Each structure stands twice: as C-alpha cells, then as structure tokens.
Amino acid sequence: MPELPEVETTCRGIEPHIQGVVVHSITVRQPQLRWLIPDEIGDRVPGQKLLEVQRRAKYILLKFSRGDVIIHLGMSGSLRVLRAGEVAAKHDHFDIRFCNGVVLRLTDPRRFGAVLWQETDQPHKLLLNLGPEPLEESFSAKTFIKAAKGRKVSVKQFIMDNKVVVGVGNIYAAEALFAAAIHPQTPVNQISMDKFNKLVTAIKFILAQAIKRGGTTLKDFVGGDGKPGYFAQELQVYGRKGETCNACLKPLSEIRLGQRSTVFCPNCQRLPRVRKKIDQ
C-alpha cells in the first residue's frame, strides 16, 4: 500500500491525535520486522512528549527531544490510531500508547517494514544517503541530468532509485512515465532535456494529486479500516495490462524491469530512435 502519498497521508492523519502528548508505554509483540526493533525505544520513549510527526522519503519520524522513532511501512504496513484497550490482531506488531488514551498501532503482515530509533544529532544511516524530496523545489530536471551522468539503467529504475529522488514507487513511476510519454526501458543517458523536464513535472503533479486524494480519505483511515481509496480510478497504466490506453485506445503492454512489473503504452511511450553507428 504505501507509496509516498500514503505515507504523507498517514503522517497528517496521526499527528493531530498525538502531537504534544506524552508517551505512556511501548508494546512490542513481534520485534522481528525487517530489522529487530531496538530496545532503546522501550527504554527511552515512555515519559517523553511527542513534539511532531515528520516524513522523510517514506520514513515516518516521530520526533522526541531525545531522538526519533523511525517507522517504515514496507510493502504492507499501516499505522492506525485507536483507543487504548483494543485487542491486537495477528499482525499488530507494535504499539505506542499515549497518556491521552490513544494508541498508535503498526500492523504489517509481510514485515518488510521497520521501527528504528535515532538519537538526536546521530542520524540513522538509512536516512543519510537519500536523494531530494520530489515535491521540494530542489528537485528539478537538473537533479536528473546530474544523476544520470554515466549511467545506463532504464529510466524507470533510475527514478525509483532513492539516491536520485525519494518516494517514487512502482505505481507512480509507471504513471509518471506514461504522463511524460517516455518508454520505461529508455536508458537514462538517452533522455533529452525536454523529456526530463516533462518527467519531473509529471512526478510532482501526480504525487501532489495523490496526496490531495489521501486528504479526502483521511477520516476513514484514522477511524481504522485502513482502506485507502484515492487511486484506482485515476491510474492510467498501473495494473491495466492488456486494457486500452486512455490516450490512443491501443492495448497496454507489460514488461519486467528490475523484477518489477511495468505497464506502459507501446504506442504513446516510444524508445528514442537508435542512433546509427558510424563505424566506417
């Protein structure tokens, strides 16, 4: 579930319930997520007041004066706000109970998610080498041109690389490439300035749009059924293999790139003309 818009929606959804509230206790039912949940959390967080909720890439940061609880939702994670006393279900691995009776609960069937701790002024190494936020001004075609230098990976894998830009997952990568009319397999060193500009614009627009949608389902989602509903209808290519392209009405194709399914329109998204080798 969690692409960047969902993570952003989660942050906005939980913050009003817990900001400024002191933590009562921590419950770890299953410490073995992607990494072991560190003991520091249970040791240091109770008694501290939550200052704010921030997002960096797809990491959720619960800020305390001594440090931050870092939560990543992986593939299948979600956070919900509940009242204390709710019985935990099978994949409810981690709770933070606050002194106002609110419980923040992490559910994650596949356990690719993570709960980590970073001490103030000792940033976690996972957050150190992240690229720019896609919605910040600092992310532009220039970012891409610089990062693409000397690289031959497909443009889709390139935009999903967190060192290049964060927060572009499999769904929105496919959607942005469709919007920019770029074939996902195009080697990134063959992308023109013009296409890079279109791609950046598409990424920003699509993510911002999805976050707006997330805003609409916010209430439900805090209420606890965790069912986001913002996409589905808006998607042009993701999950639509074999269906008709909304632009040209020809069927959409699917290929695999970096072991990820990649749907695109072979008619609207063309590979650039192969440069003729001049070798005589």
Q: Which of residues 5-64 bind DNA (CB under 7 A)?
A: 32, 34, 57-58
The amino acid at 138: S
Nearer residue to DNA within complex by CB, 31 or 46:
31
Residues with Cβ within 8 Å of 191's Cβ and at least 6 positions away in sequence, in order, are: 144, 148, 155, 182, 199, 272
Q: Is 109 among the residues that bind DNA (CB under 7 A)?
A: yes
CA distances from residue 141 to 46, 146, 147, 168, 197 in whole angstroms, order as listed: 44, 9, 10, 15, 5
Q: Identify whether 97 is a catalytic site residue.
A: no
Query: Are the CB atoms for 246 and 269 separated by under 8 Å?
Result: no
At residue 75, the 3 state secondary structure works out as: coil
For residue 234, the 8-state DSSP code is G
Residues with Cβ within 8 Å of 62's Cβ and at least 6 positions away in sequence, in order, are: 18, 50, 53, 68, 69, 70, 71, 96
CB of 152 to DNA, least distance (A): 4
Q: Which residue in the list 5, 6, 8, 58 is annotated as catalytic?
A: 58
Nearer residue to DNA within complex by CB, 122 or 259:
259
Residue from 131, 169, 184, 214 touching DNA (CB under 7 A): that is 169
Q: Is 170 among the residues that bind DNA (CB under 7 A)?
A: yes
Nearer residue to DNA within complex by CB, 53 or 102:
53
Question: What residues are labeled active site?
Answer: 2-3, 58, 260
Binding site for DNA (CB under 7 A): 1-3, 32, 34, 57-58, 72, 74-76, 90-91, 109-112, 126, 150-153, 157, 162, 169-171, 228, 231, 258-261
